[in-house]
Amino acid sequence: MTSLAWILISCEPGRERDVYLQLLDIPVVSEVSIVYGELDMVARIDFESEKQMSKILIEDMRNVKGIRKTETLIAVEV
């Protein structure tokens, strides 16, 4: 079963477009939106396991140049 998480992203000033394009190149990133407010963008990732999610966050997201900070919100069923 596929799970999903929303990644709240703060970028280095002026790097929003670069980050946006790099995120779209990550296969499990299904959606990226640039937003107004405290944060710069929100990305949706779809993953099969916690191990895969950890790899995405630790390896893939950390390699995106221009990301300053992230916060991960994992969706749950109620």
Query: What residue ranges do the domains of the chain occupy?
Result: 3-74
More confidently predicted of 23 and 54: 23
16 three-state secondary structure: helix
CATH code matching the domain that covers 3-74, chosen among 1.10.260.40, 3.40.47.10, 3.40.50.12780, 3.30.70.920: 3.30.70.920
Mean pLDDT of 63-73: 94
Question: In which band, very low, low, confident or very high, does the pLDDT at 71 lie, cut at 50, 70 and 90?
Answer: very high
Give the chain's end-to-end CA distance (angstroms, integer).
Answer: 16
Q: What is the pTM of this model?
A: 0.88
**Residue percentage of the chain with pLDDT more than 90:** 65
Q: What is the distance between the alpha carbons of residues 78 and 61, in angstroms, rounded to a whole number? A: 28
Per residue in 17-43, pLDDT tens? 999 999 999 988 999 999 999 999 999
